[in-house]
């Protein structure tokens, strides 16, 4: 199920997601969105609506110290908070001493990160990424629309994924967030 699309455009991160809830051959168009804000973070998820609900309503995004590298913050502080949130919410899985969660994207401070089910954090050099069963179609669309307005690119990527993948359905939710100014980080410290 799902297609989540993320795109960095200047100091803004755009993210869009579909509304499909899939169980085997059954599909439900859901009212609860897969893309939302939690504090300064823009989050889009796949894997499980339960995981998304925990990330939306239970995750307490930790503050980032002004002198902490953003990628390090994501790998250490952010992921530790996610792991605790998913464990406390009964979602994290443990098998053969390996803990897993789910897959989601985070737009934060003008950058786009993907957190995989093993909690690794990735950041695509190309400035856009997609996750979920429709991701290959969305990535092809994003690669072919460079130079077009960012919201339009995200919408076209989702429409392309819906056209070719049975697990992706409109309506689509598209949001954006601005990079937090460096001045605000310094003043908050």
Give the rounded percent of residues in the chain with a pLDDT score beyond 70: 94
Going from N- to C-terminal start, the domains of the chain cover: 4-176
pLDDT in tens, 111-167: 999 999 999 999 999 999 999 999 999 999 999 999 999 999 999 999 999 999 999
**Mean pLDDT value across residues 54-60:** 98
CATH for the 4-176 domain, from 3.40.50.920, 3.30.56.10, 3.60.20.10, 3.40.50.10860: 3.60.20.10
**175 CB contacts (<8 Å, ≥6 apart)?**
14, 15, 16, 35, 36, 37, 42
Lowest-pLDDT range, 36-45, 74-83, 90-99? Answer: 90-99
DSSP letters spanning 97-163: TEEE---EEEEETTEEEEE-TT--EE--TTSEEEESTTHHHHHHHHHH-TTS-HHHHHHHHHHHHHH
Q: pLDDT value at position 180?
A: 59
Token readout for 155 is 């919408």
**pLDDT score for 34:** 98
Residue that the structure tokens 């995750």 belong to: 59
Count each helix (H run) and each strand (E run) in the chain, helices first.
6, 13
pLDDT at 65 over 80: yes
């Amino acid at each position: 199920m799902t297609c989540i699309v993320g795109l960095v455009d200047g100091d803004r991160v755009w993210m869009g997601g579909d509304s499909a809830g899939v169980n085997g051959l059954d599909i439900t168009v859901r009212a609860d969105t897969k893309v939302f804000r939690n504090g300064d973070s823009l989050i889009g998820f796949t894997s499980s609506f339960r995981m998304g609900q925990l990330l939306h309503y239970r995750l307490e995004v930790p503050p980032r110290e002004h002198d902490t590298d953003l990628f390090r913050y994501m790998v250490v502080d952010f992921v530790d908070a996610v792991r605790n949130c998913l464990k406390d919410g009964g979602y994290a899985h443990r098998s053969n001493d390996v803990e897993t969660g789910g897959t989601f994207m985070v737009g934060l401070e003008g950058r786009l990160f993907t957190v995989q089910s093993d909690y690794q954090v990735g950041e695509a050099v190309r400035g856009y990424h997609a996750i979920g069963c429709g991701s290959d179609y969305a990535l092809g669309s994003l690669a072919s629309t460079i130079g077009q307005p960012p919201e339009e690119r995200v919408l076209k990527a989702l429409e392309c994924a819906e056209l070719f993948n049975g697990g992706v359905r409109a309506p689509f939710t598209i949001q954006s967030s601005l990079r937090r100014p460096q001045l605000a980080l310094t003043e908050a410290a």
